[in-house]
């Protein structure tokens, strides 16, 4: 059975979550990986059950409290992010305070967030604007830090131009593409080490390695991805 890296990651989360459930039933307090896997799996299963984004996040937030985990775990796991598959596409779920107020951090606790003043923050590079047409019969949502080149195969746009880029929207947010509609999106280069692991498995490595772009585009075409934008009759929408 051929699995994409994303599917393998999902199975790993499920396996770890099953271990966490078994230990919890025996009265064993969970450690960080176990608690993280159980919360993430709960969110993903709620999404697959047809629940909405907010409902799935609440399901994850309510599955554990501080009494279920080892001391210090709520001080370390203060925010959890997982991509879940909903009826209208994949969305990034951000679970703040996953133990329901039991893990409030003080400024000196391990893992405490110390906000800065925002100085010195710059975007990773110039932005690119592309029209994107949804040829599917269902809505498609793409989250902020998804490698846009590897977005849903039924989205028709210039994938060559979108290689190595993500949506220029706030972290954790999504852009929705309704069936048959065209949306004008703004993209910016992925920053950091520029390594794309997972997603749709079209790259799975350094984005700027020699031949990586050409190999990814060939794989996309071979697996049925739409790689070019065609003019549509309806008006474009601004993302």
Q: Where are the alpha helices (DSSP H) in 26-88?
A: 32-48, 53-61, 73-76
- How far is 47 from 53, CA to CA, in rounded Å? 7
| Residue pointed to by tokens 């999902």 | 10
Check residue 157 and report its DSSP letter.
S
pTM, whole model, 2 decimals? 0.57
- How far is 220 from 239, CA to CA, in rounded Å? 24
b (16+ CB within 10 A) / e for 134-153: bbbeeebbbbebbbbbbbbb
Q: How confident is the model at residue 170 (pLDDT cuts 50, 70, 90)?
A: confident
Residue 52 has pLDDT above 60, yes or no: yes
CA atoms within 13 A on the CB side of 197: 4
Residue 182 has pLDDT above 90, yes or no: yes
SS3 of 156, please?
strand
- How far is 146 from 168, CA to CA, in rounded Å? 11
**8 Å CB contact between 227 and 217:** yes
- pLDDT, one tens digit per residue, over 78-107 is 889 998 988 877 888 889 889 875 444 555
DSSP sequence for 71-133: TTHHHH--EEEEEEEETTEEEEEEEESTTTTTTPPPTTSTT-------TT---SS--EEEEEE
- pLDDT, one tens digit per residue, over 101-144 is 544 455 555 555 555 655 554 555 678 999 999 999 988 989 88
Residue 73 CB neighbours (<10 A): 21
Region of 197 on the Ramachandran plot (φ > 0 left; ψ -120 to 50 alpha; else beta): beta
**8 Å CB contact between 202 and 138:** no
Residues in the chain: 239
- How far is 180 from 140, CA to CA, in rounded Å? 11
- pLDDT, one tens digit per residue, over 187-233 is 999 988 999 998 889 999 999 999 999 999 999 999 999 999 976 65
Across the strands, what pairs with 84? Answer: 91
């Amino acid at each position: 059975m051929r699995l994409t890296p994303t599917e393998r990651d999902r199975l790993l989360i499920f396996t770890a979550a099953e271990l966490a459930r078994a230990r919890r039933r025996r009265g064993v307090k969970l450690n960080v990986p176990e608690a993280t896997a159980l919360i993430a799996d709960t969110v993903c299963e709620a999404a697959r059950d047809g629940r909405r984004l907010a409902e799935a996040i609440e399901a994850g937030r309510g599955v554990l409290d501080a009494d279920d985990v080892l001391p210090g775990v709520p001080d370390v796991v203060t925010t959890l992010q997982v991509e879940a598959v909903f009826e209208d596409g994949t969305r990034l779920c951000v679970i703040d305070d996953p133990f329901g107020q039991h893990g409030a951090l003080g400024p000196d606790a391990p893992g405490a967030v110390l906000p800065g003043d925002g100085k010195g923050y710059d975007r990773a590079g110039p932005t690119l604007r592309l029209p994107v047409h949804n040829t599917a019969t269902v809505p498609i949502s793409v989250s902020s830090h998804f490698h846009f080149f590897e977005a849903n195969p039924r989205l028709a746009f210039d994938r060559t131009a979108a290689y190595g880029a993500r949506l220029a929207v706030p972290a954790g947010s999504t852009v929705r593409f309704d069936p048959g509609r065209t949306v004008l999106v703004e993209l910016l280069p992925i920053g950091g080490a520029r390594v794309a692991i997972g997603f749709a498995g079209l790259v799975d490595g350094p984005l700027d390695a020699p031949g990586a772009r050409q190999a990814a585009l060939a794989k996309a075409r071979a697996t049925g991805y739409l790689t070019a934008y065609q003019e549509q009759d309806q008006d474009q929408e601004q993302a």
